[in-house]
Amino acid sequence: MKQAKSNGRSERRDAAENRQRILDVAFTLFELQGVEDVSMNQIAAEAQIGSGTLYRRYHNKSELCMDLIKDSKELLFEDIEVYQEENAARPPAERLRGLLALFIKFKEKNAQLLAGIENSFSSGAQSRTESPLYIELHELVVRLFEEMAAQNGDPQPDSVFRTDMLLTALSSNSYLFQKNMRGLSPESILEQLCQTFI
């Protein structure tokens, strides 16, 4: 994990220790009290560092959550890739459904952190749509939509737009609303999404 900075010197040892401590503390605290109810201050205090140090590494809680979820995210994309390869023969619509199913499973497993990511984007800054998770997923989905459009000679419904809508529908806000207010199960959400967008 050394040479973290792509240019210049490698990360200082004490800095690396602090980073690890932050991650550990955050993980534990999130587990214990829920992401929403843990403040950056609390994390800093518990990790025995100044809040400035914490903010130096993570500009906001979002970024911290992203770092915490990185491994799961990589697993997700591996799963997706395997699935896509194993089902390369099947029609793209079906492969898209498979991808969505995997993503929904991922959402269920990381609901808290994902909600934390979306709710804690600091004011004027970036949004959900600029996170690597969004961008990478977007790419994959667009490709599938374009494959679908190529098969039937339809007057190309803009794949990028359609993908944005589909992923917006899977944002924590929208997804949790469907679960909690409309009472839909993950399975029926998947079903409805396919019916609406595919």
Partner DNA sequence: ATATTAAACGGAGAACTCTCCACTTGTCAA
Partner DNA sequence: TTGACAAGTGGAGAGTTCTCCGTTTAATAT
Binding-site ranges for DNA (CB under 7 A)? 5, 8-15, 18, 39-42, 48-53, 55-57, 59-61, 120, 122-123
Residue 36 interaction partner, one of DNA, a second copy, none, beta carbon < 5-8 Å per kind: a second copy
> Residue 108 interacts with a second copy (CB under 8 A)?
no
> What's the min distance (Å) between Cβ of 26 and DNA?
12
d(CA 166, CA 78): 21
d(CA 100, CA 166): 10
> What's the min distance (Å) between Cβ of 121 and DNA?
8
The amino acid sitting at 130 is: E
**Is the CB of 43 or the CB of 47 nearer to a second copy?**
43
Q: Return left, alpha or beta for 33; rule: phi > 0 is left, psi -120 to 50 is alpha, else beta.
A: alpha
R_g of the chain, CA atoms, integer Å: 19
> Residue 185 interacts with a second copy (CB under 8 A)?
no
Residue 14 interaction partner, one of a second copy, DNA, none, beta carbon < 5-8 Å per kind: DNA
**CB within 8 A of 81, min separation 6: which ones?**
none
* Binder among 57, 147, 197, 198 for a second copy (CB under 8 A): 197
DSSP letter (8 states) at residue 156: -
Q: Is residue 154 within 8 Å of residue 161, measured between CB atoms?
A: no
Site for a second copy in 126-165 (CB under 8 A): 127-129, 157-158, 160-162, 164-165
